[in-house]
Amino acid sequence: MKSEFNQLKEWEQEFDAAAKRSLRERMRFSFIYTYKPVLDDAPYRSFDTMEEYREWCRKNLPEYLGYWR
């Protein structure tokens, strides 16, 4: 197991390396795509009311995505 000092030193080195990257590189590495089951499976969905949308979410989406009420 790494000592706390070594861990902090490693973080500093990673931060210094990141600070030297261009803005374009930092933006490219800063966003991580995460597949969201059901939501990412269709290009779009539309609902007539918010209640219809909420009902669809409750029936179709995993609770851990946070779209449940």
pLDDT, position 20: 92
Say yes or no: 42 and 21 in one domain. Answer: no
Say yes or no: 38 and 24 in one domain. Answer: no
Residues near 67 by beta carbon (within 8 Å), at least 6 away in sequence: 57, 61
pLDDT, position 64: 86
- Element holding 6 (H helix, E strand): helix 4-19
Tell me how many domains the chain contains.
Answer: 2
- Measured distance CA(55)–CA(50) in Å, rounded: 9
pLDDT, position 1: 58
Residues near 54 by beta carbon (within 8 Å), at least 6 away in sequence: 69
Q: What is the mean pLDDT of the chain?
A: 88
Say yes or no: 42 and 66 in one domain. Answer: yes
How much of the chain is helix, strand and coil, in % rounded to 5?
60, 0, 40
Say yes or no: 43 and 67 in one domain. Answer: yes
Paired tokens of 67: 């779209």
pTM for the structure as a whole? 0.48
Q: Which domain holds residue 61?
A: 33-69
